Amino acid sequence: MECAELLQYLSEYIDNNLDEELTAEAQAHLATCANCKVVLDTTQQTIFLYKQQEPRKIPARRRRRLFNQLQDAFLKRPESS
């Protein structure tokens, strides 16, 4: 397995949703690739920190403004061919 392939399967790997063969390939790659190990560790830490936070409410006024900005951007986007 190469780095690009590991990144493609990273979410499924973290969620333990890969079959045994892909899991073994990912583990073998992670054992030898420091960069991918950092990406995995950082992603797992980010998920952990996110789950530790209290839910936040967006004030109604800000929520309306954000929705309007998103709607304007969506309506102004060029048509895809």
With helix as H, strand as E and coil as C, how does the chain read?
A: CCHHHHHHHHHHHHCCCCCHHHHHHHHHHHHHCHHHHHHHHHHHHHHHHHHHCCCCCCCHHHHHHHHHHHHHHHHHCCCCC
Residue 55 has what pLDDT? 84
Residue 81 has what pLDDT? 52
Closest by Cα among 52, 39, 33 to 11: 39
- Per-residue pLDDT for the chain (81 aa), expressed as one digit of tens each? 899 999 999 999 999 999 999 999 999 999 999 999 999 999 999 999 999 988 888 899 999 999 999 999 988 887 765
Residue 77 has what pLDDT? 80
pTM here?
A: 0.65
- 32 phi, psi to nearest 5 deg: -120, -5
Residue 78 has what pLDDT? 79
